[in-house]
Structures are given as C-alpha cells and as structure tokens.
Amino acid sequence: MAGRGVDEPERLGQTVLPDGRVLGWAEWGPEDGVPVLLCAGAATSRWMGLGAGTPGGDGYGRDGGDPVARLGVRLVCLDRPGLGVSDPAPGGTLTGFAEDVRHLVGVRGLRHPAVLGFSQGAPFALACAWAGVVRAAAVVSGSDELAHPYLVRMLEPDVRAMVEAATTDPRGAEADFAGMGDPEVLCDLVARLSGEADRRIYTEPGFARSFRRAVRQGFAQGPGGYAREVVLTMSRWPFDPAEITVPVDLWYGAQDTSPVHSPDLGASLARRIGTAHRHVVPEAGAALLWTHTRDVLATLLERRTRALAGA
C-alpha cells in the first residue's frame, strides 16, 4: 500500500452551533457505524482521516482493507474553531470546544461516540472525555499538559520558553504564534524534527500530499485558529484529568522525537487519569496513528463496548 495517501472524505458538512458559529466536519465509513470523533494534530483540518497505506505500517490492516470500514467505524474528523471552515471562537477554551462537540453529537445523532485525539488534538479529546461527551477516548502521540509543574522542568529550553509565554502573556504569545504560522513551514518543520521512523511516513509522496493538503485547509482562514489553540494547549488546562471517568488509552511510540508531545511518553498523564491504559510501541514513532491504525481503533471500540455494558 505504500504510496497511497489518505482517502477523500465520503461526506463533508457543517453544523450550526447554538451561538450561530459553524463547526465543519468530514466523515469516512458507514453512516450506521460506531461514531468515532477525530481531533487531529496542530492546524490539521477535517481532511486528515486515517485511511492511509504507509511504508512498514498497517494503515490498511495486516489482513487487508481500510480499518475504518472493516471495523465498522463512522469516523468524524472535526475542524476545530478557526481551522478549515469552522468559525473562530473568541475567548474559546478546551472545555468550550467539548460543549460544541456535545451539540454536534446531539444534532447528528452520534449515539455513544468515542473520541480519538492526535498530537495537539489530544487536549481537546481529553476535554470531551472529561465533559462526559464520549464513552471512551484514545490519545495518540498526545501533547500532555506541558504547563503542569511536573512536566515544565522536563521540557527542552525552546519549548519551555513557549509554555512560559503562553501562560504569562497569552495575548502576546498568540500574536507571536500567528506571526510564525504558515502551512508550508509547519509541514516542513514536522518532517525535519521527526526521527527516522516518522520521516519515512511524512516524506512518503502519497501521505505527504494528503498531510500538506489537510494543513493548508487548516490555514484557510489564516493563522489565527492555529495560534489560538497553541496557546490553549500550552497553558494550564481548565479541567482536571483526574476527574475523567471514561476509559482512556494513551498510545506513544518509543521512537517519537517531537519536543512538544509528552516528554515522558504519557507516564505522568497515565498516573493522573485513573481510567488510563498506557501503551508504548517500541518500533513506532509519533505517526503510529497511521502505522498502527487498526490496533488503536480496535482497542478504542473494545473500551467503548465495555463501558456501555457497564452503564
């Protein structure tokens, strides 16, 4: 399957929120499938699904076929506020996004959804879990609460400086991030900062085209949405992960070299979330969402099924 990028969305749409803002979404898989909400990575729009054949990975499953369709998943990828076609949310928060998702779930009839958060999308997914919007959650290569005192001292100096700026002068930091926000620069930076395991994925032509398109669409309204959520995710979170009651799986690749993911590969986050299961895949990097798609989705569906059975 090498050379194949992410499949085109099967359905595209927008949902009007109670305050009149629009929330954009894209869907893959059967409409009567198990709803899984996807909070993609930094500045990545609704165009970034999971159906990708990647070198050395199982993006289409070791037994063949797209795992989204084979597992009966109705994958719903969301444009977060200010990204893609979703309207900005001035003064928005992580928990405010969870309320947007709650409305979307009700309007679109997404019964008992699960949520999947990748990289910078992880805090948004965890906010949905904390708010009780979903029945199970999975975090893949997730950005941890970097401003937490336990983690700040572990951060690389450049990342620590960004976190300190976001917490002490959020408006100034947001303006600075907006000034640096450029889709081409961001895509190149991801590939350059990746370790060998991930660089093979991000530079594979088919995948690179899909990823670059998704990021370009994320910047369709300019860099404001990207800058806003960098500040939100690098500040203290407005919820306590210890209060999450739904099952959460934390997935990290031992070869992940990103300085803005969890510096301890989710160990401290797993200790804070009493319902968490932590997986560290020795041969994988940050891109394990695409190299180990089936494992992540199958585990998430199993957790959701068990949670529903125990309700």
Per-residue confidence (pLDDT) for residue 7, from 0 to 100: 85
Work out the average pLDDT over 253-261: 93
- The most distant pair of C-alpha atoms in the chain lies apart, rounded to whole Å, by 51
Assigned domain for 101 exists = yes
Assigned domain for 1 exists = no
CB neighbours of residue 239 within 10 Å: 19
For the chain, give the mean pLDDT. 92
Per-residue confidence (pLDDT) for residue 4, from 0 to 100: 57
CA-to-CA distance for 285 and 279, rounded, in angstroms? 12
pTM attached to this predicted model? 0.94
Assigned domain for 305 exists = yes
Instruction: Give the CA radius of gyration of the chain.
Output: 18
Residue 12 confidence (pLDDT) above 80: yes
Calculate the dihedral angle through the C-alpha atoms of 76, 79, 81, 83, rounding to the nearest 10 degrees. Answer: 170
Work out the average pLDDT over 59-72: 69
pLDDT in tens, 104-120: 999 999 999 999 999 99
Assigned domain for 4 exists = no
Assigned domain for 221 exists = yes
Please give the residue range of the domain that contains residue 17. 11-309
Contact in structure between 293 and 6 (CB atoms under 8 Å): no
Residue 39 confidence (pLDDT) above 90: yes
Assigned domain for 2 exists = no
Assigned domain for 172 exists = yes
Per-residue confidence (pLDDT) for residue 193, from 0 to 100: 83
Tokens coding 274:
């009493």
CA-to-CA distance for 84 and 254, rounded, in angstroms? 31
Burial, 39: exposed, middle or buried (Cβ in 10 Å; 0-12, 13-18, 19+)?
buried
Confidence of residue 99 (pLDDT cuts 50, 70, 90): very high
Expressed in angstroms, the distance from the first to the final Cα of the chain is 40
pLDDT in tens, 120-133: 999 999 999 999 99
Query: What is the domain count for the chain?
Result: 1
Residue 57 confidence (pLDDT) above 70: no
Confidence of residue 189 (pLDDT cuts 50, 70, 90): confident
Q: CA distances (Å), 148 to each of 137, 222, 262, 278, in order?
A: 21, 30, 11, 19
Assigned domain for 6 exists = no
Q: 68: domain CATH number?
A: 3.40.50.1820
